[in-house]
Amino acid sequence: MSQPSILFVCLGNICRSPLAEAALRKRAVEAGVAMTIDSAGTGDWHVGRPPDPRAQETALRHGLDISSYRARVVTPEDFHKFGHIFALDPQNLKDLHRIEPSRHIAELRLLMDLVPGRKGTAVIDPYYGDEDDFEQAWADVDAAAEALVRRYLS
């Protein structure tokens, strides 16, 4: 079996998707599962910028430094590079389907579909929220990361 390759996609790639990337990196290392992991956004207004300071603070509370991450936009090449592309909400999944090439290897899914009882739901968008919203976003992406690692351990 080849190494899993996973891309997380939200709107601006500064809050939810970098947290998802960090959560899965942490879970994969703890479990000893090798994966290619990245994140991107469907919007381009934050390209090259680090994650939102509140996302960085949230990650640090969970033992992770994401200050070196930089926002980028999902590209057509991503649909060939990654086996799985997970949207963090239904609108971004629709946007991914709109831009996907006619032929590609990536399976497109909603991230929270991996978490029992959360099918069809979004990871909370904490951008306009407070620390509690960022913690809830972390809890969401960490639960999905745990489910992904379990999938590749079985």
Catalytic residues: 10, 16, 125
**Cα 70 versus chain centre, distance:** 13
State the alpha helices, DSSP H only, in 62-130: 78-81, 90-99
Cα dihedral angle (100, 13, 136, 5), rounded to 10 degrees?
50
The token duo for 8 is: 């997380």
The token duo for 54 is: 């509140």
